Structure 1
Amino acid sequence: MTHPQVSMTLADIARHLNIPVKGDGNVAVSGLATLKDAGPDQVAFLANRAYVKDLASTRAAAVLLHPDYAQDCPVACLEIANPYVGYAQLSQLFDPLAVNRLEAGVHPSAVVAEDAKLGQGVRIEANAVVASGAVLADNVVIGPGSVVGADTQLGEGSHLHANVTLYHGVVIGKRVILHSGCVIGADGFGFAHDGTGWHKIAQLGGVILGDDVEVGSCSSIDRGALGDTVIGNDVKIDSQVQIAHNVHIGDHTALAGCVGIAGSTRVGKHCMLGGGVGLSGHLTLCDGVQVTGMSLVTNSIHKPGVYSSGTGAMANHQWRKNAVRFKQLDEIAKRLARLEKRHQG
């Protein structure tokens, strides 16, 4: 993949990260790479002990690392307490979208309602649609084929990639990134059964996304049935995530791919849900909860910590034996209780 050429010195990078550089600060670099693959014009980083083995042989111009590893580094060092956060900050300097700032303007094939309000520096790309009453703040980017529904609001600096759909009455905060195929504000799964068939419940609420939220490709956040579905500030949502109506997610929480959250569940701040986690409806997870991948949560969690459910894969013959034993657990428990009672007597 071709990237725009960016050139800066190690001293420039050190100033950007507000950290010292040990080595020649005048060396020019033009990109980032792993310790193993970096060339003499690239910066590498060491954030995981598993890759210490690659440090001695790296050809990088410099390595972003913790001071504890500086003495073993054969090239220039950029010392920082949290190398992974430093790498994240440094990556912004080499991001093609940031380097090649998109020019403002409305593509001739885009359809923008006459009463839509566009701020300064807004870019609307080919075949996008902006409906009546929509408000786009300064420097918003609407990617090709994306749809902004009626009366929807987008905060300053937000970016919709290609083919994003925002339904009506959605509120998007500042600097929000929505990746291709995600849908914000579709109807929640609301139906009433009369014994013979289903009656649709109109979803009358909306969706509110806070500032600095990022939503991955093909994820869905449903609108509320009555009140709003609310996603807090700095929430990070991976691809193919389903968030049902009236869910509330607290600030700084992260959801990995294929998480599913049923209706009216509340997730606290600074939580992390691993890939494939499922949360039943009408639950509460307090702040600081981490749920490991593929776990199913059916009860509220009121104490911070790490939670897991399910079992890891094993050989089929062993799993079959364990499945039989699982069915016997109730009888085994009763037998144990009888034995304990007899022993105590």
Structure 2
Amino acid sequence: MHKGMLLMVSILVAIMVAVPTLLVSLGGNKPPASAPEPREKGTSHPSGGPEVDVYLTREKRLVSLPMEQYIRGVVAAEMPADFHMEALKAQAFVARTYMADRMRREDYSDMKKLGGTAEEAQVTDTVQHQVYLTDKELKKNWGSRYSVYSDRIDAAVKETEGQVIQYRGEPIYAAFFSTSNGYTENSEDYFDEKVPYLRSVVSPWDKVSPKYKAKKTVSVSELASQLQKATGKQVAVPASSGGGLLKVVDRTEGKRISKVRIGDQLFTGRQVREALGLSSTDFTWEIDGKDITLITRGYGHGVGMSQWGAHLMAEKGKSAQEIIDYYYKGVEIADAGWKK
């Protein structure tokens, strides 16, 4: 073989060997995201917007999804598919805005705490962020209703595509929950920060929600031990519980418990709710000997949009825009700027 030709072949072989090594090196340690599950032939689910990296906790893997496909899975998971279409659209606005705000902040430190593959994701598929279900899971959950429900969710997402809720030109922290006690909460009455658009409003429609009222019975000793475990405060229980074991000290504007004295200790309503796994911070109680029954009204933290309130407002003729304007004060719906 001619020396020049031999030299050229040697160079080509060297390049072929080096390029894969270079690509691996540039890729770093980040594990590749799994491709989203293939769609059935003929389907046209929403799929626009920037990529969202989602950690699927049950499957322990990372997937990258177009924003609108992710929003479809969130709306389907977070709100009953047979809710009014305007409520589903409102949920789509909220879900998309939640993720847009998270991406704007670029603070994924909570993912780092999960470790492993989750560290490379932007969001989980759980209530820690927003619940997300894959199409495979939706088919299992919806069964014979899959086609009907899928079309409804797709319509809600497509009709709101690329639009987010903004306050002064930025995506809001779009808090939402299931069912109010008749009012929503000011943000600072449950979370730490006072947010101008998360103000308490009347939400009387929620009383027809199946989650409006619940009861939970625990022993007085169990009440004390669970509070101590959650807060570190040791409750001294009087020998005779009677009616003096619990006493409301202060209430929020949303008519929930802000502070309550239990035995000789002071707790916030949130501390009690989370320690005992209660549905709401609006609770009363009945004591019967060594047992105490707590009766809650509402389901969730109470800040932002009530999902049942949205559904019932829609049934009364309110649009998704009107629902958003009601639950989030001084906001506007605007294009996020990522439409194809």
Q: TM-score, normalised by structure 2?
A: 0.23
**Richer in strand (by share):** 1
Larger RCO, structure (CA 8 Å, separation 6 or more)? 2
Report the TM-score, using the length of structure 1 for normalisation.
0.23
Structure number with higher helix proportion: 2
